[in-house]
Amino acid sequence: MEKQRLLYQQSRLHDRGAAEMVLQMISACKGETGVMVSSTLKLGISILNGGNSDVQQRMLDYLKDKKDVGFFLSLQALMQTCSVLDLNAFERQNKAEGLGMVSEEGSTKNEKELCREYIEALNHVQSLICYVCTSVSTSNNLLTAVHLTATGESISDFYWYYSGKDIIDEPGKRNFSKAMTVAKQVFNSLTEYIQGPCTGNQQSLAHSRLWDAVVGFLHVFAHMMMKLAQDSSQIGLLKELLDLQKDMVVMLLSLLEGNVVNGTIARQMVDMLVESSSNVEMILKFFDMFLKLKDIVASDAFRDYVTDPRGLISKKDFSKAMDSQKQYTPSEIQFLLSCSEADENEMINFEEFADRFQEPAKDIGFNIAVLLTNLSEHVPHDTRLQNFLEQAESVLNYFRPFLGRIEIMGASKRIERIYFEISEANRNQWEMPQVRESKRQFIFDVVNEGGESEKMELFVNFCEDTIFEMNIASQISEQEEEVIEDEDEENEEESGGGGNVEGEGEEGNGEEAPPESSSAFADFIKSVVNFISLFTFRNLRRRYRKVRKMTIKEIIVGLVMFLYTVLFGILHFIYSVCRGFFMLIWNTLFGGGLVEGAKKMTLTEILTSMPDPTQDEVHGDLPPEPGARKVQESGGAGEGEEGAGGGEEEAEEGEEDDGGRSGFGPHGGLGDMGETEPEEPPTPEGSPLLKRKLLTEEGEGEAVEEEKVEEEAAPEPEKADIENGEKAEKEAEPEPEGKQEEELEEKKAKAKAKKGKKEEEGGFELWNELEIQRIKFMNYLSRNFYNLRFLALFVSFALNFILLFYKVSDSLPGEEEEEFEGSAMFEGSGVFEGSGMFEGSGVFEGSGVFEGSAEEEEEEEGFVYYFLEESTGYMEPAMTFFSILHTIISFLCIIGYNCLKVPLVIFKREKELARKLEFDGLYVTEQPEDDDIKGQWDRLVLNTPSFPNNYWDKFVKRKVLEKYGDIYGRERIAELLGMDLASLDVSAMTHEKKPQPDPSMFTWLTSIDIKYQIWKFGVVFTDNTFLYLVWYSVMSLLGHYNNFFFACHLLDIAMGVKTLRTILSSVTHNGKQLLMTVGLLAVVVYLYTVLAFNFFRKFYNMSEDEDEPDMKCDDMMTCYLFHMYVGVRAGGGIGDEIEDPAGDEYELYRVVFDITFFFFVIVILLAIIQGLIIDAFGELRDQQEQVREDMETKCFICGIGSDYFDSTPHGFETHTMEEHNLANYMFFLMYLINKDETEHTGQESYVWKMYQERCWDFFPAGDCFRKQYEDQLG
């Protein structure tokens, strides 16, 4: 949305002629600097930022129409007037500062800063204006190269100035940083000039002084890297230097875009590398050292030298460890030691040291590897380059797994190679089981279908689906979660002690220490809790992860330590239990706490604390009268500001104290006889000294308790005032009482609000923790979905193995009839089990209470029971356990599939609908057919605000509106898509912060997009795999009613084995033809049934007893079923099953009837059915063989056979694995989707544009790089 807002603001300025004004202002300045020119350059950068193609086209049209040469002359003059670094001026300034002459310092710095800003702005504007980038041999390119050379020479001069010094001082750092910033912008501008690729600009730069500048920068890079790396205070400047080096390598790679084999630029670049071979060798050695360091310090051989558990190693041991690896020379080891940062004990944190240079070395080292690989393929037979490749062999081998390479048909209709980076995480996700299954399914479905264009369309769809699936895999991956959890757990372990101390401090500040007996008992409870905490899931998981990272030696040592710890822990536990009980008894009986308390108790306190029953109403112990509330409140409010002056924190701490303290107020007792309180002089706060003394002894309690104490003590000051004549003085201060009362109310409200806020935060933390655990559980099920399927199949085999021991009986074996009729039958005591009435009994299980109908029951005169015959007694509990486990696993499989594959199903459907909507105009220019249920169902989701949810192009509705709105009406399209035209106005958008949504349940329910969820459920419930898993779970549930339902789950083996799945597919492959043939068979058999029913009924007597005939054709239904069941199964037809017609008057007709039935039904129709199945199986098998053969003998991308590549050893294998690898094309598409469009190179922009237009001409169909340059490549 920010990009849309930026484009809107740029278009507003563009419509008002800002682009032309920028060009005119630069042209009118005539090369003279000024504030107006600086502001104009900033405006030009602003309207061109983000790659606004409309503004660029407007500037291009203006420059072409007006032929404004003054614009370019002004650019040249502005660049010539500015310089960045001047060593002589720098030295003069340092001398002037040393002599105290600093009058010109400010003007010099301002002038240099202004020049730097001008150069950055000029190069930025030039790189953004497309005319400069597309013009051929413009002098601006040459001038930029000259300025780059001058900048490099200046940086080199400063390097020599500081080469003799140990470190670079602050002024030098500032100047170096400014120069590097300008050089970075110049490199970026040159990269923009030549990307595209723009052949003219490439050639003009190649024939300029660019190579001299690059040689100078290589010299500076090689020596400054070695110098800066040896001082930790120079790391910031080193990183800036490495960033500059990365931009220079990217510029060199841009020079090779679209280049040909043995081209001029490639040869010149090789010459440049040979000229500065010593510097290039130093750079390669630098990166090689730090790239290997990460893996070396993580090896077991290196860690054998590490004795400090904090991960520190001495310099001497570090040198020995490095020398034992045989990977570094002694000079390289000394250089690494000089780069390391040791503490006061000469100890090195080797992990931090390895990580310090790892990322910069990987970023730049990868680009250098790409550059050398590119040169080796464009200049194949140059022996000088081979020497560089041998020196860089270690770096190239390091980056080979992450270097992706594809070939495209470029805009110039030549095959070009593109190099890009593949992350290790993407490589791992490509090998996930669900991705491998999708890849296998795609290959066998697509390889032999359609032409090249259609095949590439299906391949791109597969890539998009796989990218989405890999994103899901990255979300549910365990590695990142483990890293985060390990860090959290380590932080918890490190901060555990501090937390305890802090907690004790808070306890000591806010509460009194508990009694000694409570401390002893708490120590005992703490020991038990600590012992139990060793077996918590979190602790076990943390220990398991540590064990998994340990070596064999560490595991053996750890096992010994574990046994020792367990033994010591048991002894310590026994000791703690005994000590806890002993301390509990000792401190209770002989602790001395009661004696010390009795010693401190005085007679006055005892007498004061005794209640006086005659003074209850006076002192407020009885419930007050209805009118007495105001008197007590006024008295309590006027009793002192000290109680009301406590802070909010003190009130909260007071809430945690013993609630019984409020009873320690001045009760009326025997002490009133002496009337000691009225004799005390009143204090300025209005409370007697005894009251203040009691408050001081209590501490600063909570405000509510203080109010209660004051209310109870209110009558006493009033009594004292009456006796001493001081009531008038008390009534003269009404305002402080009201203020104190308001303060008390405010404090009470704040305390309640803070307490409620804490409870609310605690509730949110609880729900957040539950949500985190739910997500982790879902991710775990997703990662182990295929393992759960295999486990369910294993449990199914175990259940069916137990089913083999079931027998059937009509009586209860081994039991008397009385016992059967008693508790075993009706109480379910465990003797037998029937499915239904006797379920859960544990021994017998029947498929029903009775077998057959009521008549059969009377005939059989008894029950039929299925029982499990066993002698061990373990099978029945195992049957119950496995059945419950199988049901749980089946439901977990549904949950795992819902997290793993259902998002992909929704993504595919949304993508298909979005593509048809955008490119085919479905639902806009044409409507789906009435019998197209899928199209009609998708209409439901068009106007929902949630669509598209999973598909990454969230602006597809806006694209459809822009494409078809002018023709079919924007209002109509907006109504179809459920869009609000007012919300599309970017000018109406504000940056005001939206109010937080109401977290109530009603708001959550109303925010659900009901129509989208209904559409989603419809899509999910039409997915075959999801329906299969639902059927699987239903069968598992029915297995609890009758265990023989578990036999159905053995069919899952056919779904898991590829060969068996092919056999099942052979039945469904020609499913429509098979069903129609079976229907024809049923019709033919019905026709024969009609003939038999009318003419041959007497031959259908199946009874052997003549007295009781069994006629099978006396009614039409029985006759038809007899023909279908018996006649079709008989090898010779129906004639083999009915009576012989010999000697009968219908003998001739019977012969014709039998022979035609045998010929049409048995010979023809059944053979057709069998042939369809066999042919389908053979066709699928041939298709798989053809796919396998095509993948082994023909390239999927270009379609060239292996015969062409086999002229060189392993030629076809190299071609399909490196040049035209399917995975690399998918990774490249993923790379483009995740990369910012403004960062695309020229080749990447070309492919991205073709991809958005759904044009697949960039695939090299029928051609490849090796074939195009076979003469040069030899």
In 251-270, which positions are buried (b, 16+ CB within 10 angstroms) versus exposed (e)? Answer: bbbbbbbbbebebebbbebb
Model pLDDT, residue 1086: 92
Q: Which of 41-50, 332-341, 414-423 has the lowest mean pLDDT?
A: 41-50
In 403-412, which positions are buried (b, 16+ CB within 10 angstroms) versus exposed (e)? Answer: bbbbbbbbbe
Give me the half-sphere count of Cα atoms (radius 13 Å) on the Cβ side of residue 135.
17
Predicted confidence band at 158 (pLDDT cuts at 50, 70, 90)?
A: low
Model pLDDT, residue 1102: 81
- pLDDT top residue among 90 and 691: 90
Hey, what are 990's tokens? Answer: 């504000």
Q: Quick: pLDDT tens for 807-824.
A: 887 776 555 444 444 444
The answer to whether the beta carbons of residues 796 and 886 sit under 8 Å apart is yes
Tell me how far apart the alpha carbons of residues 431 and 1058 are, in angstroms, rounded to a whole number: 18
Would you call 692 helix, strand, or coil by DSSP?
A: helix
Model pLDDT, residue 90: 54
The residue assigned the tokens 């209904």 is 1014
Q: Which of 128-142, 194-208, 310-324 has the lowest mean pLDDT?
A: 128-142
The residues pairing with 844 across neighbouring beta strands, listed in sequence order, are 867
| Residue 115, burial from CB neighbour count under 10 angstroms (0-12, 13-18, 19+) | middle
Query: At a CB cut-off of 8 Å and minimum separation 6, what does 822 contact?
Result: none
Tell me how far apart the alpha carbons of residues 407 and 417 are, in angstroms, rounded to a whole number: 5
The residues pairing with 314 across neighbouring beta strands, listed in sequence order, are 347
Residue 1033 has pLDDT above 90, yes or no: yes
Query: Please, what sign has the CA dihedral across residues 959, 961, 967, 968?
Result: positive
Residue 858 has pLDDT above 50, yes or no: no
| Residue 930, burial from CB neighbour count under 10 angstroms (0-12, 13-18, 19+) | exposed
The residues pairing with 807 across neighbouring beta strands, listed in sequence order, are 867
The answer to whether the beta carbons of residues 652 and 509 sit under 8 Å apart is no
| Residue 483, burial from CB neighbour count under 10 angstroms (0-12, 13-18, 19+) | exposed
Q: Quick: pLDDT tens for 22-38.
A: 888 888 887 777 788 77
Q: Which of 272-281, 727-736, 868-877, 1121-1130 has the lowest mean pLDDT?
A: 727-736
Tell me how far apart the alpha carbons of residues 494 and 488 are, in angstroms, rounded to a whole number: 10
For residues 205-213, give the mean pLDDT: 84
Predicted confidence band at 1107 (pLDDT cuts at 50, 70, 90)?
A: confident
Q: Which of 469-473, 1004-1008, 1195-1199 has the lowest mean pLDDT?
A: 1004-1008
Predicted confidence band at 794 (pLDDT cuts at 50, 70, 90)?
A: very high
Give me the half-sphere count of Cα atoms (radius 13 Å) on the Cβ side of residue 443.
20
Model pLDDT, residue 843: 41
Tell me how far apart the alpha carbons of residues 1034 and 1038 are, in angstroms, rounded to a whole number: 6
Hey, what are 1229's tokens? Answer: 């598409």
Residues listed for the chain = 1274
Predicted confidence band at 758 (pLDDT cuts at 50, 70, 90)?
A: low
Model pLDDT, residue 234: 82
Predicted confidence band at 590 (pLDDT cuts at 50, 70, 90)?
A: low
Tell me how far apart the alpha carbons of residues 504 and 525 are, in angstroms, rounded to a whole number: 17
Q: Which of 109-118, 211-220, 227-236, 1265-1274 has the lowest mean pLDDT?
A: 109-118
Predicted confidence band at 653 (pLDDT cuts at 50, 70, 90)?
A: very low
Tell me how far apart the alpha carbons of residues 915 and 909 are, in angstroms, rounded to a whole number: 10
Tell me how far apart the alpha carbons of residues 642 and 736 are, in angstroms, rounded to a whole number: 12
Model pLDDT, residue 454: 80
Query: At a CB cut-off of 8 Å and minimum separation 6, what does 870 contact?
Result: 805, 876
Q: What is the largest CA-CA distance in the chain?
A: 148
Model pLDDT, residue 1014: 92
Q: Which of 126-130, 945-949, 974-978, 1130-1134 has the lowest mean pLDDT?
A: 126-130
> Which residue type, as a one-letter code, is found at position 857?
E
Residue 581: count of CB within 10 angstroms of its CB: 13
Q: Which of 342, 359, 205, 198 is nearest to 290 (CA)?
A: 359
For residues 1147-1173, give the mean pLDDT: 89
Predicted confidence band at 650 (pLDDT cuts at 50, 70, 90)?
A: very low
| Residue 57, burial from CB neighbour count under 10 angstroms (0-12, 13-18, 19+) | middle
For residues 323-328, give the mean pLDDT: 84
Query: Please, what sign has the CA dihedral across residues 791, 796, 801, 805?
Result: positive
Give me the half-sphere count of Cα atoms (radius 13 Å) on the Cβ side of residue 956.
26
Residue 1015 has pLDDT above 90, yes or no: yes
Residue 480 has pLDDT above 60, yes or no: no
The answer to whether the beta carbons of residues 214 and 248 sit under 8 Å apart is yes
For the ranges 256-260, 729-733, 765-769, the one whose mean pLDDT is highest: 256-260
Parse the chain into domains and list their residue ranges.
392-477+1196-1273, 631-762, 788-896, 899-989+1009-1056, 1071-1189
Residue 838 has pLDDT above 60, yes or no: no
Written as one string, the DSSP assignment of 805-862 is TEEEESS-TT--HHHIIIIIHHT--SS---SSTTTT-SSEE-SSSSSS-HHHHHHHTS
In whole angstroms, how far apart are CA 1233 and each of 468, 909, 1218, 1244? 11, 20, 22, 11
Tell me how far apart the alpha carbons of residues 219 and 217 are, in angstroms, rounded to a whole number: 5
For the ranges 546-550, 741-745, 1203-1207, the one whose mean pLDDT is highest: 1203-1207
Model pLDDT, residue 890: 94
Model pLDDT, residue 980: 81
Tell me how far apart the alpha carbons of residues 517 and 1045 are, in angstroms, rounded to a whole number: 63
For residues 492-517, give the mean pLDDT: 42
Model pLDDT, residue 626: 44
Hey, what are 671's tokens? Answer: 């002490």
Q: Which of 441, 401, 421, 398 is nearest to 253 (CA)?
A: 421
Rg (CA), the chain: 45
Model pLDDT, residue 510: 40
The residues pairing with 403 across neighbouring beta strands, listed in sequence order, are 421
Q: Quick: pLDDT tens for 559-574.
A: 787 787 878 878 887 8
Tell me how far apart the alpha carbons of residues 1092 and 1126 are, in angstroms, rounded to a whole number: 14
Model pLDDT, residue 143: 57
- pLDDT top residue among 1089 and 1059: 1089
> In whole numbers, what is the pLDDT of the chain averaged over residues?
74
Q: Quick: pLDDT tens for 770-783.
A: 888 888 889 888 88
Tell me how far apart the alpha carbons of residues 314 and 1262 are, in angstroms, rounded to a whole number: 61
Tell me how far apart the alpha carbons of residues 1036 and 885 are, in angstroms, rounded to a whole number: 10
Tell me how far apart the alpha carbons of residues 762 and 774 are, in angstroms, rounded to a whole number: 18
3-state helix/strand/coil string of 284-326: HHHHHHHHHHHHHHCCHHHHCCCCCCCCEEEHHHHHHHHHHHC
The answer to whether the beta carbons of residues 1003 and 928 sit under 8 Å apart is no
Residue 105: count of CB within 10 angstroms of its CB: 12
For the ranges 482-486, 492-496, 905-909, the one whose mean pLDDT is highest: 905-909
Helix H or strand E encompassing 419: strand 415-421
Written as one string, the DSSP assignment of 75-128 is HHHHHHT--S--HHHHHHHHHHHHHT--TTHHHHHHHHHHHHHHHHHHHHHHHH
Query: At a CB cut-off of 8 Å and minimum separation 6, what does 1065 contact?
Result: 1176, 1180
Model pLDDT, residue 862: 54
Query: Please, what sign has the CA dihedral across residues 676, 677, 679, 680?
Result: positive
For residues 1142-1157, give the mean pLDDT: 86
The answer to whether the beta carbons of residues 1198 and 455 sit under 8 Å apart is no
Residue 648 has pLDDT above 70, yes or no: no
For residues 224-240, give the mean pLDDT: 83
Would you call 406 helix, strand, or coil by DSSP?
A: strand
Residue 126 has pLDDT above 90, yes or no: no
Helix H or strand E encompassing 210: helix 210-228
> Which residue type, as a one-letter code, is found at position 245?
Q
Helices 105-128, 35-48: axis angle to 10 degrees equals 30
**Bridge-based pairing state of the strands 844-845 and 806-809:** unpaired
Model pLDDT, residue 1036: 94
Hey, what are 1254's tokens? Answer: 């759904």
Q: Which of 691, 659, 654 is nearest to 676 (CA)?
A: 691
Model pLDDT, residue 1017: 92
